[in-house]
Amino acid sequence: MKVFKLVLLLFITSVSLVFGQEKKYFFKHEFQPNSKYLVDLKTSTEVEVYTKNKDASKDLKSGRGKIGVDVRGHIFTDKKREEDVPAVIEYSNLFLEEEYNEEKSGKRKISLKEAKIEGEFLKGNELIVNNILVESTAPIRMLLLEITSKNYQSVDFPKEGIKIGDSFDLVHIYKTHIPEYGFQKAYTELEKTMKYKLTKIDSGKAYFDILISFSKKGKELEKKDLLVLGGGTGKAIFDMKNNQFIYFDTDILINYKIKIKKEELERIHKEKSVITQQKIK
């Protein structure tokens, strides 16, 4: 009798596991109206440039640079305007740490008297920036705008739902700075594909593994002087109650081979980013 009960228990457990894995989950990513979110972002970017030409101009010589950014912000959303959600992002703390060819600046706090970015989440999802109110230097303004643009892009889950073990792709535009091109072409757009794989559901949280790949986009395909090879990995946690990603951890590496006039450069871009976000109101 005991053996029969044990076999029955094992059978029920195995059936539950099978049906649990076959269950479809439906997700919707959105910023809710009349709410407040707390966001912490830490990112470290390292760039190495190599050239075989010893007589290269000053701007094209080999070198290594690194910048660390640690920033905290709050997102305030207003009542819905038709399908969209107006929002203001206020950055309160910003720390920078820079290094160039082994010369370190040390971690320092950047004074932000006012640092607001106004916009709206289209259908509660992707942020469109309407206004930048940042009382600081031009590089800091650009840094905050770049951080905002990169981290509030659209997230469209499959409408048909996904099971544990399923994957889906999200494609975004990734802008990266290549100063060697000069001011006019300093920003290059790449197509960034993020493959999300649902690994488990636990306590109202969905866990994803992420595989990242890069390719040239649009007009960049016409640049025969630029070759790009890159990719990365990451992990994410989604809060199913508040319809929000509450944790992102990604590592990427992009290798550029650039030909400028008669000089050939290799540029290696490494970036690690950790984002935590929570709804606090």
Dist CA 107 CA 141 (whole Å): 19
pLDDT of residue 64: 75
Q: CA separation (Å) from 257 to 49, 178, 217, 232, 267?
A: 10, 11, 16, 18, 6
Q: Is the pLDDT of residue 235 over 80?
A: yes
Tokens encoding 66: 């690194």
Bigger pLDDT: 77 vs 136: 77
Q: Model's pTM, two decimal places? A: 0.81
Dist CA 81 CA 34 (whole Å): 12
Name the helix (H) or strand (E) containing 86.
strand 85-100
β strands within 7-78, DSSP E: 36-51, 63-77
pLDDT of residue 126: 80
Name the CATH topology of 26-279: Lipovitellin-phosvitin complex; beta-sheet shell regions (2.30.230)
pLDDT of residue 16: 47
pLDDT digits (tens, 9 = 90+) for 155-198: 889 999 999 999 999 988 887 766 555 544 556 778 899 999 99
Dist CA 41 CA 95 (whole Å): 11
Any residues with CB less than 8 A from the CB of 174 and at least 6 apart, and which? 150, 189, 190, 191, 192, 214
pLDDT of residue 183: 41
pLDDT band at residue 102 using 50, 70 and 90 as cut-offs: low
Tokens encoding 216: 């040239």
Bigger pLDDT: 9 vs 105: 105
Q: For the chain, which residues make up each domain, given as ranges?
A: 26-279
**Amino acid identity of 235?**
K
pLDDT of residue 15: 47
Dist CA 177 CA 159 (whole Å): 35
pLDDT digits (tens, 9 = 90+) for 193-220: 999 999 999 999 999 999 999 887 655 5
Assess contact for 6 and 14: CB atoms under 8 A. Answer: no
pLDDT of residue 195: 96
